[in-house]
Amino acid sequence: MATLEFPTAEQIKDLVEATRAGFKTGKTLSLDWRKKQLRGILRFCREKHSQILEALEIDLGKSSFEGMTSEVVSVEWEAHFALKHLNRWAAPEKVRTPLLHQPGRSYILKEPLGLVLIIGAWNYPVQLTLVPLVAAIAAGNAAVLKPSEVSQATSRLLATELPKYLDPNAFTVLQGGAEETTQILKLPFDHIFYTGNPQVARIVMEAAAKNLTPVTLELGGKSPCLVDESADLALTAKRLIWGKFFNCGQTCVAPDYLLVEKSVAEPLKTQLLKAVEKFWSGHPETHSEYGRIVNSRHFDRIMGLLDNSGKVLCGGKGDKAKRYIAPTLIADPPETSPLLKEEIFGPILPILEVDSISEAVNYVNDRPKPLVLYLFSENPKTQEFVLNHTSSGGVVLNHCLLHNLSPDLPFGGVGESGIGAYHGKAGFEALSHRKSVLKKPFYLDNPTIYPHLTGRLTKFTEQLIKIWRKVRA
């Protein structure tokens, strides 16, 4: 696998064409080859875990525990899951053959799409680059990887070390920024897998359209969290604070804002403050398990969201030199606040009070469809109402984030929050083509389908159609 840190447009073209040539050899069709590549990813995660954790600490201030669980182990989990189920996923799928086509046999073949472009994201730079790669490999594709240039240390590690564990003719890692990504997108691919924000996703989709390239877009948005009066408030607060401030709030599925029934708003705020105090012993600025903002630009953006934002319950301060922003809770932000307009993607949690869950549902439905919706409630009727009257990429009842770590659950958005889904079998299917096959023998040819039928055959065919219509009525 060739890697260049800042390739020229001509070098990018040559590398992409060489990778496509690797796919055209047909080697990726072999399940044994695919399994070997998946095991290579597992070896990369295990043998380079110290370097991975070090890079994540440099880029995002991630603790070893946070980096291991959310990045390294999540990739290993997906690779193991694919290895376990690959034979079954890839097997031809038998389907019914209609009487009209008898004798015959119908089935579906799962074939690779070809060359896949994977554009990773900076907030989980290992997970969001390698989990899509697991899906691409399982489906039998070659791939070009473009890690995010924002997480520089991790991007450099993936470019220099990952190639040692994969087939050099079928996978390429390209580094660079917006200019290099623009050059890559000018080239034809068989699928583009992008994780990031909706603004860049529109650019990716526009570039893909020029080559009629299908896309998977894993985006974000403002994921709401609803809390009703039946919720266990202490446990709700504990789980919310963990989910919101994991990775310093730089998580696409982080709760973006709370909609809390007024009857429990004040006691919930008290429990949230207690959880913040307990988790980081009152000093998140020095705590080893509280992360950092990825760079100065994002620091300025997040701090700018606090202008005229509402009542600060805790936090609200930062240190740009250390890329530190305190865990911040904001009560009753005005409707004009940017906290309620933009995806926060940082350690700030606005809290809004509502009279009822019905009001909360209306509030959610008046906005773009979120990547995930959270509901904390022990009331089955409330749970059913919210599930049936909202649309989101996914839903978690009474916890946060955990659905993202289940290979059995498809992960993806809807509308503004994304197109398509992956993880586990869903990833295999997203990067496979289901090719329909009808196999007919040379005996028992059906004479009724051909032109120049005799009058008797025409009447016989018409009678068959009438009988079929009665049976189907």
Q: Which residues touch 154 (CB under 8 Å, ≥6 apart)? A: 52, 55, 56, 59, 125, 126, 147
Q: Please give the pLDDT value at position 3.
A: 46
The CATH superfamily label for domain 224-412 reads Aldehyde Dehydrogenase; Chain A, domain 2 (3.40.309.10)
Q: Please give the pLDDT value at position 156.
A: 96
Residue 5 clears pLDDT 80, i.e. is over it = no
Separation CA 220–CA 222 (nearest Å): 7
CATH 2.60.40.4070 is the classification of domain 3-219+422-433: no
What does residue 303 show for φ and ψ, rounded to 5 degrees? -65, -30
Rounded (5°) CA angle 417-423-427: 90
Give the residue extent of every domain in the chain. 3-219+422-433, 224-412, 442-472
- Please give the structure tokens belonging to residue 371: 């990547």
pLDDT tens-digit readout, 390-409: 999 999 999 999 999 899 99
Q: Please give the pLDDT value at position 412.
A: 97
Q: Please give the pLDDT value at position 97.
A: 94
Q: Please give the pLDDT value at position 456.
A: 72
Neighbours of 57 (CB within 10 A): 18
Catalytic residues: 218, 252
The pLDDT-based confidence of 174 (bands split at 50, 70, 90) is: very high
- Please give the structure tokens belonging to residue 243: 């989910």
Q: Which helix (H) or strand (E) holds 215?
A: strand 215-218
Q: Which residues touch 38 (CB under 8 Å, ≥6 apart)? A: 79, 82, 83, 86, 134, 137, 138
Sheet of strand 171-174: strand arrangement: 3-4, 171-174, 142-146, 115-119, 191-195, 215-218, 418-419
pLDDT tens-digit readout, 39-87: 999 999 999 999 999 999 999 999 999 999 999 999 999 999 999 999 9
Q: Please give the pLDDT value at position 161.
A: 97
Q: Please give the pLDDT value at position 459.
A: 79
